[in-house]
Amino acid sequence: MQAKAFNFIPFKLSSPAVKLPPAQAISFPDHVARPDISIATPNPQVSTSIDDEKVAAYWDYQFLFVSQRSETDNPVTLRIVEGSIPTDFPLGTYYLTGPGLFRDDHGSTVHPLDGHGYLRAFTIDGVKGDVTFMAKYIETAAQVEEHNRETGEWQFTHRGPFSVLKNGKKIGNTKVMKNVANTSVLKWGERLFCLWEGGAPYEIDSKSLDTIGKFDLIDGLVDDSLSTSSSFGDIVDFAASILKPILYGVFKMPPKRLLSHYKIDASRNRLLMMSCNAEDMLLPRSNFTFYEYDSNFKILQKQDFTIPEHLMIHDWAFTDSHYILFGNRIKLDILGSMTAVCGLSPMISALSVNPSKSTSPIYLLPRFSEHEGGRDWKVPVEAPSQMWVLHCGNAFQETDQNGHTQIQIQASSGSYKWFNFHKMFGYDWQTGKLDPSMMNLNDERGNILLPRLVQVSINLDATGNCEKCCVNPLNDEWDRSTDFPIINTDFGGSNNTYVYAATSSGLRRELPHFPFDTVVKFDTVKNSTRTWSVGARRFIGEPIFVAKGSDEDDGYLLVVEYAVSKQMCYLVILDAKKVGETDAVVARLEVPKHLNFPLGFHGFWAPKRS
């Protein structure tokens, strides 16, 4: 069955109108299922014209978000176009999830964060020297409703938190919490899950990629009653009592939002997860619950914390003694709330960032009962700079003989001036188009506003009180936009030397900061960096570390290369020790053109257990 095509029309660039250069149409053979796109692309001839660069940059950015409707029935062996698979490569599968569909067959588009989850799997066998590929949509309740499997037609009926339907029920549509399972993927205890920021994970068959169904990790652990506490005042409690039946009943939001970012404590062989209360998104208080599981999903401990601030948490960190939360401050937008409830703007319009303070709160929450004494955990450590933290790479602590503790946290931090709920990825909900300039902003002084990697150091005295908190670049001379920090997961929660991340070479004048085109390796001991780049008109996603030996950087890096000029995807294997050297690439494998997929979010390496 062929997938339907649509015309993707660019929205108006923020710069003066420019004339598109001669174009050629993308075509697909009749027997090949194709992405739902049929557009004109710039002539591949190189031009030094600024206007031509703007056009080329615009189209290159669009191609990163081209919908892919094709799925695989059986594993496809990838063609090796460079190098070879090393025989000592550990047998296992690299899972990558992200949105796969951005436009239906009735004229509605959605924000990338609302795109249906599309799971990709690369199974690597070093002994056989091959890699097989599979990709399927995660059959969430919303996906089953919006996709007709017999005809292949898609029709969006759920608004999603970040989108507005142009053709479909808009006014009075309470289908907001569109669990698309598109944000992260996890294999734990031999079970595979795809996660989203606001609902239960979906379990997936790890071999066929067929969807098994929802897996409620916190079922039976949540108090679903509509009662409220009186910890933070009658007004907030009264507001919560009104919001709960509306959010739970009308908008079908789960009482607790399980976050998509999890942590693995390798030393204890534990899975750590965190949830928030649904109503906290609209109230000046935040309720966080942490869960720790063994390999059989037995709950080992559960802890609840209530903080009197309006915060948004996407990622977090842990040490032997603490759960660590960077408090991204938000506030309720009254006008946005009214238009969102009426269906005239996305539901996320109800919120905006709150840059009212020049400092950033960091909450050090006691992980175990023996750490509950000392300082009041409700009082945050105030970092001296304003940070909007997206992702945490690692955190660890060291205590000296006098009981003084130093906590180190590695994270990606952006500016409040850049972060905008309405325009993430440059999406314009009114036109349904993507503007790459939003992801490439500088401030009035030319400073980068997008995330960069920082190291936060917190010194605590023997009673747990903060003596000093400072924020520095992870590398003193590294000033490029950088995100998706990852480490060798065996070192999670312990002192690590190396951090890997996606960054930009800065060589493209019109796309200086994003999309990323470079892998960077930080050596935190030597205060040095080494890089590997994909080249012109090629971009990358999040790198993943695959451990091979006992040394921290003894292993391989997996990263997907998006060659937008050719509309192809490649799986690239790098030698982690050789990043920065001419022979860093171990192998590059080509994904068949008809299975070219859009930019992914987060991935997971799952070694095959013997």
The sign one gets for the Cα dihedral 231, 233, 236, 240 is: positive
Residues 6+ apart with CB under 8 A from 133: 72, 75, 76, 77, 78, 120, 121, 122, 123, 571, 591, 595
Dist CA 136 CA 69 (whole Å): 9
- Round to the nearest angstrom and report the end-to-end CA distance of the chain: 39
For 445-465, b/e burial (b = at least 16 CB within 10 A) is: eeebbbbbbbbbebebeeebe
Q: Pick from 67, 85, 81: which is nearest to 4 by CA?
A: 67
Coil, strand or helix at 306: strand
* Separation between Cα atoms, residue 545 and residue 605, nearest integer Å: 8
How far is 540 from 203, CA to CA, in rounded Å? Answer: 27
Phi, psi (deg, nearest 5) at residue 370: -70, -10
CB-based contacts of 26, cutoff 8 Å, min separation 6? 37, 38, 39, 41, 567
What is the rounded CA–CA span in Å between residue 350 and residue 162? 11
Decide: helix, strand or coil at residue 114.
helix
- Contact indicator for 528, 521 with CB cutoff of 8 Å: no
Amino acid (one-letter) located at 579: V
Closest CA to 343 of 177, 165, 178, 180: 165
Question: Which one-letter DSSP state was computed for residue 9?
Answer: P
- Any idea what DSSP says for residue 448? B
Sign of the torsion formed by the C-alpha atoms of 70, 71, 77 and 78: positive
Measured distance CA(574)–CA(183) in Å, rounded = 24
Cα–Cα distance, 92 to 604 (Å, whole number): 11
**Rg, Å, the chain Cα set:** 23
422 is in an annotated binding site: no
User: Is 391 assigned to a binding site?
Assistant: yes
Binding residues: 314, 391, 602
Binding residues for Fe cation: 314, 391, 602
